[in-house]
Amino acid sequence: MKKITTRLMLLLTCLYIPTVYAAAQSASSDTHKLVSDYNKKQYQLKVLLPAKYTASDTVAYPVLYVLDGNYSTSLFQSTIDLFSMAPELQQLIIVTIDGVNTSYEQWLANRYYDYTPSSDPAADTAIARFMKTAVVPSGGATAFLQTLEKQILPWVEQHYKTNADKGLYGHSLGGLFSAYCLLQKPALFHRYSINSPSLWWRQGEMAKQFAATTAADSTIDARVFLSAGKLEGDFMIKPVDAFEKVIIANLPGIKLNYKIFDDETHLSVVPLTCTRTLRTFYSLMASR
């Protein structure tokens, strides 16, 4: 009986997809550029609106802010379009964020500066040599966080119908910045997606800072999705494991979902972190 029910549901889904495909593709998007008051850099926001979004009603939506818009815009747009073919996710607004980049090298430099929480000249030199680019400075996360808190979020909330539910997604150095935001401004977002984070930065200083500053603070209340690919190796995974243990030991108010994706590398894991973030934070299935 269970097999028959499952097959029937799959058949109905297949029949349902053509009727909703047009609606799935109808979500609109807006682009906005702003100059930061804090680091004088220009940023581009891509606002992906849900298919049912209209200015004529009173519905307000949760917002997921996604770093590295240079590649994440198309990834999240296509993923949302796919999920729209069946009622699996809440309707939400997605805002992707990136610097205004004219080259791949400029994109690397912008994200490296913005997402690193402290300066490390030795790492700057080593990474430039590895990437075959000019040396760029690290340590711009404080200014970027100010830009996010004081300019980007207020602008989105002023121009779109949002509710209080805000999330942040980051991968790699973006994951490091998401962890930094959780440390510095835990109440700024309700949901943090921290994926393959570069927690090796400066000998794992982020986990140490969490352990030192939050041991007596159990009031942080947030949902955290923490992940990495198993094929990323110990260099990436050991600091992530240590970070998970710090959260469990010191922050009981955090609802943590920790996932190591088998057979995935630092890059191949990215699409999985996108779908799992959306399902973990915004699934309609869990409430059924």
Nearest to residue 162, comparing CAs of 66, 94, 61, 65? Answer: 61
**Assigned fold of 27-287:** Rossmann fold (3.40.50)
pLDDT, position 113: 95
| pLDDT over 80 at 10, yes or no | no
Nearest to 284 by CA among 84, 95, 96, 93: 84
pTM: 0.89
Looking at the predicted structure, is the pLDDT value of residue 18 above 90? no
User: Please, what is the average pLDDT of the chain?
Assistant: 88
Of 170 and 284, the structure prediction assigns the larger pLDDT to 170
Whether 242 shows a pLDDT value over 70: the answer reads yes
What is the percent of the chain where pLDDT is above 90?
67
Cα–Cα distances (Å) from 236 to 60, 94, 112, 114, in that order, read 38, 28, 17, 20
What pLDDT sits at residue 210? 83
Query: Counting beta carbons within 10 angstroms of the beta carbon of residue 55, is it exposed (0 to 12), middle (13 to 18) or buried (19 or more)?
Result: exposed
Q: Which range has the worst mean pLDDT, 17-26, 51-60, 154-163? A: 17-26
Cα–Cα distances in Å, from 229 out to 72, 149, 177, 193, 195?
Answer: 18, 30, 18, 14, 9
What pLDDT, on a 0 to 100 scale, did the predictor assign at position 232?
A: 97
pLDDT grade for 217, boundaries at 50, 70 and 90: low
Domain ranges of the chain: 27-287
- What are 81-107's pLDDT values in tens digits? 999 888 889 999 999 999 998 888 889
Q: In terms of pLDDT, which residue wins out, 11 or 249?
A: 249
Asked whether residue 11 carries a pLDDT value surpassing 50, the answer given is: no
Read off the pLDDT of residues 103-150 as tens digits, 9 standing for 90 and up. 888 898 899 999 999 999 999 998 888 878 888 899 999 999 999 999
Residue 244 has a pLDDT of 95
